[in-house]
Amino acid sequence: MSHKTHAAAGLGAVIALAAGLSGCAGAAPSTTSPTASASASTSADGAAPVVNGVSQVKITLTAGDKGDACTADHLTAAAGPVTFSIENVSATAITEVEIQSELKILGEKENLAPGLPVSPFTITMDGGQYTLYCLGATPQTQAFTVTGQAAAAPTGSTATLLTNGVKEYATWVGTQADGLKAAVAALKAAVDSGDVAKAQAAYVAARPFYEKIESDVEGFVMPGFKVDDNKGNLDYLIDMRASNLDEKVGWSGFHAVERDLWKSGKITAATKKYAADLETNVGKLVEVVKKLTFKPEDLANGAAALLEEVQSGKITGEEEAYSHTDLWDFHANVEGARQAFAYLQPGLEKIDADLVKQVVTQFGNVDDALSKLRDKTSPGGYLPWNEANRNKNRKALSQAVLALQQPMQKIAEKVVTAS
């Protein structure tokens, strides 16, 4: 995309933890769990216990007859650092756990397969109301309350609020790029092992990182190549599809691996070469991402582009032609658009509060439409997007996304003239 510039931007290196800066004073991944000898105290009001100055919340994921459950041992904590430790005992429908402030993801853990070790993350939280969101759980959302000092209301001019949001968004993009790099390395390792089922799971786990930031990483051409030469276009090399295959370049990237894993069900020397090339090209892309800067209108246009991608590639079934995991990509595209909007939201509230309400409402409607298509037995946790399911559900999904696109398309013009 033409909006990218190559000034240095400070990006975090937190993998699978989107640490939003607005609404939390700071965030850091937790690397240790509290021990029995640690100094601990429990609040009389039922808030989470505090161990060495950090509130501790345990979240347990379990299977059940009426749906998989996401159970927090405490839904209240004192303001300050909070560690959320997630253990998936038996839930197969729950794929990720997030802490949200309005639409902004402050912290998250993904790819939470049953039986894996406890997975923690730590964020610093101000007093206020938050949402514990467990994708695929029954219910998916629960209120989480933080008591004590409330977050200071955003101050400054509209332009200042937008600029701050843009910087925080750049950091979030960096965390997704780092997550992509790690996930693709895991995919290559799985392919190299020759285990098709393991490689399929790793493929599905890697896709959301790219889809969330797809509109930010399109159009990068490596030095020495012409703009129209797909041999040097990183987005093409990473995410080409059968429908846009350049015969002069040949197969490469995610979907070449996807084709082998699902269409033939075999891992060959060519599959291993595809995975190795994918890892190389993703590494090059991550280096470019570290230099990105954005303008407020870039976030607005990027969010709109992600929703257009949903309509043109995901709903049609074109994206994941072999695995039929298009709805998993759909979810990631929508989440990427949501985050771009969320980082603009404080400034937008001053510009057009009614427009903000419309967008928030329509994001909720898209979530509702997509949640009806959850299927814990399928990769990614959604119904396989085959022809039968597309014919049955495509119209409703398309209408929900269109209703969101309409107010989203107004945002770029609003923010570009803000002062």
Cβ-contact 199, 190 below 8 angstroms:
yes
The verdict on 110 and 201 lying in the same domain is: no
In a domain, 281, yes or no: yes
In a domain, 115, yes or no: yes
The verdict on 56 and 204 lying in the same domain is: no
The verdict on 251 and 373 lying in the same domain is: yes
Residue 367's domain is classified under what CATH number? 1.20.1420.20
pLDDT attached to residue 221: 77
CB within 8 A of 110, min separation 6: which ones? 16, 95, 96, 179, 205, 208
pLDDT attached to residue 143: 96
The verdict on 187 and 119 lying in the same domain is: no
- Report CA Rg, the chain: 21
In a domain, 300, yes or no: yes
pLDDT attached to residue 387: 96
Q: Any idea what the Cα angle at residue 326 is, between residues 274 and 230, rounded to 5°?
A: 40
- In the block, which residue shows the tokens 């119209």? 395
- Distance between CA atoms of residues 67 and 16, nearest Å: 25
The verdict on 221 and 287 lying in the same domain is: yes
Q: What SS3 state is found at 39?
A: coil
Task: Please identify, among 124, 147, 170, the residue that sits at the C-terminal boundary of a domain.
Answer: 147
In a domain, 17, yes or no: no
DSSP secondary-structure letter at 135?
Answer: E
- Distance between CA atoms of residues 32 and 388, nearest Å: 47
pLDDT of the chain along its 419 residues, tens only? 333 333 333 323 333 333 333 333 333 333 333 333 333 444 546 899 999 888 999 999 999 888 899 999 999 999 998 999 999 999 988 988 999 998 888 888 887 889 888 988 888 899 999 999 999 899 999 999 999 987 776 777 899 999 999 999 999 999 999 999 999 999 999 999 999 999 999 999 999 999 999 998 877 877 778 777 778 888 889 999 887 778 888 888 999 999 999 999 999 999 999 999 999 999 999 998 988 899 999 999 999 999 999 998 899 999 999 999 999 999 999 999 999 999 999 999 999 999 999 999 999 999 999 999 999 899 999 999 999 999 999 999 999 999 999 999 999 999 987 76
Task: Please identify, among 90, 118, 147, the residue that sits at the C-terminal boundary of a domain.
Answer: 147
Report how far apart, in Å, the C-alpha atoms of 238 and of each of 211, 216, 302 are.
11, 14, 19
Task: Please identify, among 112, 147, 182, the residue that sits at the C-terminal boundary of a domain.
Answer: 147
Q: Give the β-pairing of 104-110 and 27-28.
A: unpaired
The verdict on 211 and 312 lying in the same domain is: yes
In a domain, 95, yes or no: yes
pLDDT attached to residue 8: 31
The verdict on 375 and 306 lying in the same domain is: yes
DSSP secondary-structure letter at 397?
Answer: H
- Distance between CA atoms of residues 141 and 329, nearest Å: 21
CB within 8 A of 361, min separation 6: which ones? none
Domain count, the chain: 2
Cβ-contact 172, 107 below 8 angstroms:
no
- Distance between CA atoms of residues 317 and 340, nearest Å: 25
97, β-bridge pairs: 109, 134
- Distance between CA atoms of residues 300 and 317, nearest Å: 25
Q: What is the DSSP string of 197-220?
A: HHHHHHHHHHHHHHHHTHHHHTT-
Does the pTM of the predicted model rise above 0.85? no
- Distance between CA atoms of residues 242 and 251, nearest Å: 8
The verdict on 188 and 52 lying in the same domain is: no
User: What sign has the CA pseudo-torsion 246, 244, 281, 205?
Assistant: negative
Cβ-contact 351, 415 below 8 angstroms:
yes
In a domain, 14, yes or no: no
- Distance between CA atoms of residues 200 and 342, nearest Å: 32
Residue 82: how many CB atoms within 10 A of its CB?
Answer: 27
pLDDT attached to residue 58: 97
- In the block, which residue shows the tokens 């693709």? 184
The verdict on 222 and 249 lying in the same domain is: yes
Residue 173: how many CB atoms within 10 A of its CB?
Answer: 26
- Biggest CA pair distance of the chain: 69
In a domain, 225, yes or no: yes
Q: What SS3 state is found at 331?
A: helix
pLDDT attached to residue 419: 66
In a domain, 41, yes or no: no
CA terminus-to-terminus distance, the chain: 25
The verdict on 281 and 165 lying in the same domain is: yes
The verdict on 169 and 76 lying in the same domain is: no
- In the block, which residue shows the tokens 């969320």? 342
Residue 94's domain is classified under what CATH number? 2.60.40.420
The verdict on 117 and 257 lying in the same domain is: no
Please return the burial class of 377, using the count of CB atoms within 10 Å of its CB with bins 0-12, 13-18 and 19+.
exposed
Amino acid present at 215: S
CB within 8 A of 216, min separation 6: which ones? 1, 4, 173, 289, 292, 294, 302
Residue ranges making up the domain that contains 69: 27-31+46-147
